[in-house]
Amino acid sequence: MTKLRQFAMAFSAGVGLMVGMSLLSADVEARECFKKAGQGTAGSLDGAKFQVDEVLLQATDWGAWAEWMATGKTSGYDFGPRKYKCKQGGLGYECYGTSTICKK
């Protein structure tokens, strides 16, 4: 039960961080582009990066996130390269990531 409680606490903290960090946005080009940041935690490095990608899209457009989850594509946005900073600890890995996302 302790591991479940630790997971729930870490997940709640992660969600709070994701929401707070995902509010960061700024226009970076003439076309509608946004710089987004997010945080993800998972048992694997790939899982933590995946959570970052989810947060970045959720902070941009929930419809784009849903499309990406279903098809792996974002037809309304250019989901550019992501930069991650990850570390091991806690429940596995914690990653912070950024990306510039542009509306097509």
Query: Where is pLDDT greater, at 79 or 16?
Result: 79
The CA-to-CA distance between both ends of the chain, in Å, stands at: 47
Determine the average pLDDT of the residues in 21-33: 53
Determine the average pLDDT of the residues in 94-104: 95
pTM comes to: 0.68
Q: Are 26 and 36 in contact (CB under 8 A)?
A: no
Q: Spell out a b/e string for 43-73, using b for 16 or more CB atoms within 10 Å of the CB, else e.
A: eebebbbebbbbbbbbbbbeebbebbeeeee
Q: How confident is the model at residue 79 (pLDDT cuts 50, 70, 90)?
A: confident
| Sequence ranges of the domains in the chain | 2-103
Q: How confident is the model at residue 16 (pLDDT cuts 50, 70, 90)?
A: very low
pLDDT higher than threshold 70 for residue 10:
no
Report helix, strand or coil for 4: helix
Q: How confident is the model at residue 56 (pLDDT cuts 50, 70, 90)?
A: very high
